[in-house]
Amino acid sequence: MDQDQKRYRKIINAWCMYDWANSAFATTILSAVFPPFYRALGIKAGLAENDATAYWGYTAALALLIGALVAPILGAISDYTGGKKRFVLFFAGLGILSTAAFTILGSDTWMLASLLFIGGELGFAGANIFYESLLPHIARQNDIDQISTRGYALGYVGGGLLLLINILWIMKPGWFGLPGTDFAIRLSFFSVAVWWGVFTVPFMRHVPEPPAASGGEPVVNPIGEGFRRLTRTFKEITRYRDLMLFLAAFWIYNDGIGTIIKMATAYGSEIGIKMTDLIGALLLTQIIGVPFAFLFGAMARKIGAKTSIFLALLVYTVICVAGYFMTSALHFYILAGLVGTVQGGSQALSRSLYGVMVPKHKSAEFYGFFSTSAKFAGIAGPLIFGLVGQWAGHSRLSIVSLIVFFVLGGLILTRVDVEKGRQTARALEAEDGIS
C-alpha cells in the first residue's frame, strides 16, 4: 500500500471515529436512559404520566428549533473563514459539558434537566453540521456511500458498547461497587461525556481542514459575511432543483425517524415497560444496526441509495402500525430490532445522497441547510407526538401519527433525479472555477 493510500485510510478512519465518539450521546442520552429519567423527574414534580411524556417531546422540539436557527449561519461562516474542525470542537465541548452536568440533577429539577438537555442537543447537532460537511472533502466520489455507512456502523458499535456498560451498571450496581441504581444512572451520564471527549481526539488530529472559500483573503466581519452568504444561498438553492426536492423529502421522513429515536423509551415507560427492558431493547437496536448499516452500504451499490431509503421507509411504516398494539417488553424488543435494521442505513445513505448533489466548495453552508432541514422538520414530530398524547390521554395514537411522515417523505423522494442533481452540482462547481 502506497503512502497516499495509507494517509487516505487514516483520514477516513479518523473521520468515522467521531461517529463512534458522539453516538454515546445518541444512545444513552437521546434514546435509552435520559428520556425515562426525565419522565421520572417530571412525575416526582407532580406531572401526570402522559404530561411527562409530552413535556419530554416539547423539550426535544425546542432543542431542535434552537439548533435550526443557528445551523445555516454557522455553516456559511465556517465555509468563508475555514475552521470547520474548530466548530466541531466548540460544539462538542458544549455537548460534553452539558452532559456531564446531568449528574447534578435532583428530584425537583426537571426544568433544569430541560435546559441542560437543550445544551447537550445543541452541542451534539451543531458539531455534526461541521463533521458531516467534511465528508465531500475527504471521500473519493465512489467511496462516499460506503464511508458514510461505515461511520454509522462504528457509531452503532461505540454507542452500543458504552450502552452495554451503562446497562450493567444500572442493573447490577453492586457488581461494580456502586451504591445504587440512581448513582449508576448519573455515572452513565458522566461516562458519555468522557467517551465523547476521548474519542474525538483522532478526528481532531488526523482529519485535514479544507481551505476557506475566501481564498485566504482577510475577513473583516465573518458574522456579517455569514449572514450575507446565507441570504445568497437562499437565492442560489433554487438552481438545485433535485437537491431542493431531496431536502423536502428528507425534512419530512427524517422527522419521523428522529421522533421514534427520541420518544421510543418515553412511550415505553408510559405503558409500563421497565427501564432495564427499555435500555436492553435499545442495545439490541445497536447490535442489529452494525451489520445492517454495512448491508445498506452494499445494497446502495447494487440498487442505489434512493431505492434503499424507500425500503427503510416501508419498514418504519410497519413499525408505527405495530407500535400502536404494543403491550409488553417482548413487543418493545421486537420493534427495537426492526428499527435497528433500518435506522443507521437510512440516515447514512441520506447523508451521502445529499453529499453527491452538493457543490464541494460550499459544503458546510449546504450541510447547514441539510442540518436545518432535519431540525426544523424534527420540531414537528415530537411536538405532534406530545400534543396528540395530551389530547388523547395516552400516546398510542401519537405513534400512529408518525406514519404520515414516512409516506409523504417517500412520495416526494420519488421525484428526485439523483444523477441530474449530481451533474448540476459539478456544473456549478466548474462555473465557479472549482476543480
Residue 33: closest CA among 258, 186, 198 = 186
pLDDT of 434: 56
Look at the domain 12-202+244-431 and name its fold.
Growth Hormone; Chain: A; (1.20.1250)
For 95-139, what is each residue's pLDDT tens digit?
999 999 999 998 778 889 999 999 999 999 889 888 888 887 888
Report angle CA 218, 223, 227 to the nearest 5 degrees: 115
3-state SS string for the chain: CCHHHHHHHHHHHHHHHHHHHHHHHHHHHHHHCHHHHHHHHHHHCCCCHHHHHHHHHHHHHHHHHHHHHHHHHHHHHHHHHCCHHHHHHHHHHHHHHHHHHHHHCCCCCHHHHHHHHHHHHHHHHHHHHHHHHCHHHHCCHHHHHHHHHHHHHHHHHHHHHHHHHHHHHHHCHHHHCCCCHHHHHHHHHHHHHHHHHHCCHHHHHHCCCCCCCCCCCCCCCHHHHHHHHHHHHHHHHHHCHHHHHHHHHHHHHHHHHHHHHHHHHHHHHHCCCCHHHHHHHHHHHHHHHHHHHHHHHHHHHHHCHHHHHHHHHHHHHHHHHHHHCCCCHHHHHHHHHHHHHHHHHHHHHHHHHHHHCCCHHHHHHHHHHHHHHHHHHHHHHHHHHHHHHHHHCCCHHHHHHCHHHHHHHHHHHCCCCHHHHHHHHHHHHHHCCCC
Residue 254: closest CA among 165, 371, 111 = 371
For 309, other C-beta atoms within 10 Å of its C-beta total 27
pLDDT of 169: 95
pLDDT of 274: 87
pLDDT per position in the chain (435 positions), as tens?
577 888 889 999 999 999 999 999 988 998 889 999 998 898 888 888 888 888 988 898 888 888 777 776 776 677 666 778 988 999 999 999 999 999 999 877 888 999 999 999 999 988 988 888 888 788 887 787 788 878 878 888 898 899 999 989 998 999 999 999 999 999 999 999 999 999 999 999 999 888 766 554 555 565 666 666 667 776 777 778 898 899 889 989 988 988 888 888 888 888 888 888 888 888 888 788 878 888 888 888 889 889 999 999 999 999 999 999 998 999 999 999 999 899 888 888 887 888 888 887 777 667 666 766 666 667 888 888 888 888 887 778 888 889 999 999 999 999 999 888 888 888 877 776 555
Contacts of 333 (CB under 8 A, 6+ apart): 277, 280, 281, 284
d(CA 41, CA 115): 14
For 341-388, what is each residue's pLDDT tens digit?
998 888 888 878 888 888 877 776 676 667 666 666 678 888 888 888
Instruction: Please give the single-letter amino acid code of residue 55.
Output: Y
